[in-house]
Chains A and B, each alone.
Chain A
Amino acid sequence: MQIYLPIAEVSVNAFLLLGLGGIVGILSGMFGVGGGFLITPLLFFVGIPPAVAVATSTNQIVASSFSALLAHLKRKTVDFRMGWVLLAGGLIGSGLGMIVFNYLKSLGQVDLLVTLCYVIFLGIIGGLMFFESLRAIRRTRKGGRVKRKKHYWVHGLPLKMRFRVSGLYISVIPPVLVGASVGVLSAIMGVGGGFIMVPAMIYLLGMPTKVVIGTSLLQIIFVTAFTTMLHATTNQTVDIVLAVLLLVGGVLGAQVGTRIGVRMQAEQLRILLALLVLAVCGKLALDLLLKPAELYSLGPVTG
């Protein structure tokens, strides 16, 4: 069934979009990532103009993250206090990120820098997570208990705050910094930033994996809602019809994903997310390294 999208001005198969939304929704529920780093390239592939794809996927992420968040709320795996602290940092960060983005745009080559950003961050994070989870799984196999490190350098900083749900008593400075750097990156890369946020919370702040996912979803919803409004008011590139199709698939997928996530061990969950991140990274790296079939590309004239 073909559907004509009013803003994107292309006609695409409705079931294809529902399916895409569903897959990304499952991942979002399982791993607590918004899925922006997946859905945006997938939409390019389907033939949606890049500007519309970026703007609309943020709206879709709001929906699937909200659906997943509700599921997490029921199981009380959301640390609200930590969420607000991260968000405060996140809003400062995305403000800074917008300035950086516009500066890069004035220099040209913004596409390349965004792709490089993706390759570097996805590569580092995916690699680290993969090896760490592999080690953790090996340790559990041997029969030893996996212990969370209780003392990081971050515990020595001032302005301490108690985060009951996470079982942490740490300074607010590291979470604000994490939120801010994720905000900067998400503004530049046009994603919710869950795939950076989740590892940062696990490895830098030492939060338990189950709480991390619900909490990062909370932050993602606000950041992507903010970005959606920015895109809608400045560029008019949010396509409601496209968003509805994606999010119908997405919200259903998110519910399924959350249930899969509960059944799985934290280490397995992390290793799967690591593999996914590495796969996307590899694909983007190949695009940069291999000779493209068509050397020329068309784009709108800006400015």
Chain B
Amino acid sequence: MRLLSALTGLFLMALPAKAAEEIVLGLSQAEVSITTNFDGSEILVYGAVKRETPIPDGAPLEVVVTVSGPSTPVMVRRKERRFGIWVNTDAVEVDRAPSFYAVVTSGPLSEVLKRIEDLRHRISIPRAIRSVGAPMEIENPTKFTEALIRVRTASNLYQVIEDGVKVDEQTLFRAAIALPAALTEGAYDTRIFLTRAGDVVAQYETVIDVRKVGLERWLFKLAHEQAFIYGLLSLFIAITAGWGASAAFGLLRR
């Protein structure tokens, strides 16, 4: 009994040191529904810092928010000139790359986050991508990951927004994250890090559920579970539309 209470005491003593500051979080929406007229969505991440002690002195509180879509392997190919024409030559398989990734911070990323913390928590875009098995004969495998980031950044799938998080009185914070229209389904991991002098002092994780609803959901399921019927349905629609247009024009001419 005494042992237990001693242990509990130790535990209680250890805990506050670790979580002197805690995150209380709210999301404008915990679920994103993809409907037929879906045209991107903006999610507001807001929250407060809960603490039992006064605001520590020294470096001010900074906030980093990341939202990451489902990760899949990606094949990155490079074109080269061979016999006068441009052809795909080298290819590198990137083991895991998120379909969407946004990093929103309250200041320049290099200032609010130390390199070592970035490595540990995989926060910046290059860290969020995992590439290990580049073939030996390829000289510059990092160029391929850089290209992946470049291509996805250009289509707004990867975003780094420094100064995107507003922090008030080192206690309240909020950030807006714009999800593009070309969104895939899945669980979008949302992480919030509080940092001081580049060290992560608290973190919080939640999930934003992105899913198709209504007609979109129904068609997607049908296409994958009843592929043959789906195929027949598309042919039926095609034939009917072809006949309908012909009949309508026939009537118009009369």
Contact surface of A with B, Cβ cutoff 8 Å: 1-4, 6-7, 9-11, 47, 59-60, 62-67, 69-71, 74, 109, 111-112, 225, 228-229, 231-234, 236, 238, 240-241, 243-244, 247-248, 251-252, 254-255, 287-292, 294-302
Contact = CB atoms under 8 A, between A and B. Distances in A.
A65 B245 CA distance: 12
B76 A4 contact: no
A254 B144 CA distance: 44
Nearest to A65: B242
B21 to A, nearest CB: 39
B239 A66 contact: yes
A297 B37 contact: no
Contacts of B88: 109, 111-112, 297
Nearest to A113: B87
Contact of B242 (A63, A229, A301): A63
28 contacts: A3-B36, A4-B216, A6-B215, A59-B235, A59-B238, A62-B235, A63-B238, A64-B242, A66-B243, A70-B246, A71-B249, A109-B88, A111-B88, A112-B87, A232-B230, A236-B224, A236-B230, A240-B219, A243-B234, A248-B241, A251-B241, A251-B245, A289-B85, A292-B86, A294-B150, A296-B144, A296-B151, A298-B151
Given A67-B243, A233-B227, 13 more contacts: A4-B37, A9-B182, A11-B181, A59-B238, A64-B242, A66-B239, A70-B242, A254-B245, A289-B84, A289-B86, A294-B147, A296-B150, A298-B151
Interface string B155-182: 0000000000000000000000000011
Contact of B86 (A47, A238, A288): A288
Nearest to A254: B245
Contact of B40 (A11, A66, A231): A11
B57 to A, nearest CB: 47
B75 interface: yes
B147 A296 contact: yes
A302 B233 CA distance: 27
A239 to B, nearest CB: 8
A46 to B, nearest CB: 12
B245 A11 contact: no
Given A4-B37, A63-B239, A301 B76 contact: no
Nearest to B239: A66
Given A9-B183, A70-B243, A251-B246, A296 B75 contact: no
Contacts of A231: 231
A238 B40 contact: no
A2 B35 CA distance: 11
Contacts of A7: 219-220, 223
Given A228-B234, A251-B246, A4 B181 contact: yes
A296 B250 CA distance: 50
Size class of B's contact patch?
35 or more
Given A7-B220, A301-B75, A2 B245 contact: no
B189 interface: no
Contact of B75 (A109, A238, A254, A300): A300
B228 interface: yes
A142 B107 CA distance: 79
A60 B34 CA distance: 25
Nearest to A233: B227
Nearest to A255: B249
A288 B85 contact: yes
B241 A301 contact: no
B242 A247 contact: yes
Interface in B69-90: 72-81, 84-88
B74 A238 contact: no
Contacts of B144: 296
A242 to B, nearest CB: 10
B209 interface: no
Contacts of A67: 241-243, 245-246
B203 interface: no
A121 B10 CA distance: 79
B248 to A, nearest CB: 8
B148 interface: yes
Nearest to A73: B246
A3 B37 CA distance: 5
B219 A10 contact: no
A214 B84 CA distance: 41
A264 B167 CA distance: 70
Contacts of A251: 241-242, 244-246
Contact of B241 (A47, A63, A292): A63
A3 B219 CA distance: 14
A234 B203 CA distance: 44
Contacts of B85: 112, 288-289
A233 B225 CA distance: 10
